[in-house]
Structure 1
């Protein structure tokens, strides 16, 4: 992966607004390129904007209050596409800005046992707001009311081939 570097510290120090420059640089990225952004603070609002645009990110403080953020385009096959209708829990708010899943579960094989109990146990062990990704062979109708009753949010749909149901679940209040 080739990195295109953009250092906006001088723009920020001079009181300028780097957002247009950042978006211009993002628009100029070619296939296989990622953006390495250097700023004098952690650009939290930008992280959400870039996730909505289909980028994942890795950030780290590099010293003296400066931050490095590497934005990488998310591959199309890893994204939940809009090719099939997306369902969501009643309380789901802007799943596009949820963090990346911290657990990946595969329940696509038959006879998976106590799926609901396993997922609820995991959700109770992770921090509020953390996300898990689960794959099912069919829409898990049995699980959905239990998630909502427990205060968790979810969003899901079938893959383009209609063979697997993909679901992201965000841990709610414990």
Structure 2
């Protein structure tokens, strides 16, 4: 049975015939026909998030998917989409000067068949403390809220006729985040009975990622993987997330990051 918590990639891998259902349900899912985008985007999106992104009823999508794989499937729940909360436009956003808003329109990137994740993360990394990132997309980038939320960002979303504008802003200054990050790392390390250290700073790409992913098999609930890296491994995050892990990255200097990787906790 297909549930709302399952990743789109998991559903398509186990039930490839459901691709037809996604595409028929909403034109937003048309991009799943692109194998590269399907691999890159679907691995980060749950069925519930996909329904929100496409603007379709979650229960309707679940019914169609399950009906495709089981002809005798009966609708057993009436979950509605948990849409992002609509909030009044923040006062700071009303007053902020336009030169402080950094715009990134990812629609051309998506149309070219590329995953815009790295482009987004680079913009986020380059943001100054008093700047705001305005992301423009065809759909609401729900999974990105979680990714950037872990990095200390809040968001405000505006839905227009055929696009979404999402403003991402830091909850606090970069200095405060850095101090909190140090404290969090010390605290987290003390919670584990075993720490595996892995230094990949001298390895050429893609060996650091390969080495880290290979080492994940040794990381259980009582084990912490401490990676010494020469840069923040942005491409690694979605790969470990789909494997059930999470990471905290701490910048020591321009060429040195400490990355803590652990099993996700409920």
Q: TM-score, normalised by structure 1?
A: 0.43
Structure number with the higher strand fraction is: 1
Q: With CA pairs under 8 Å and 6+ residues apart, which has the higher RCO, 1 or 2? A: 1
User: Quick check: which has more Rg, 1 or 2?
Assistant: 2
Structure number with the higher helix fraction is: 2
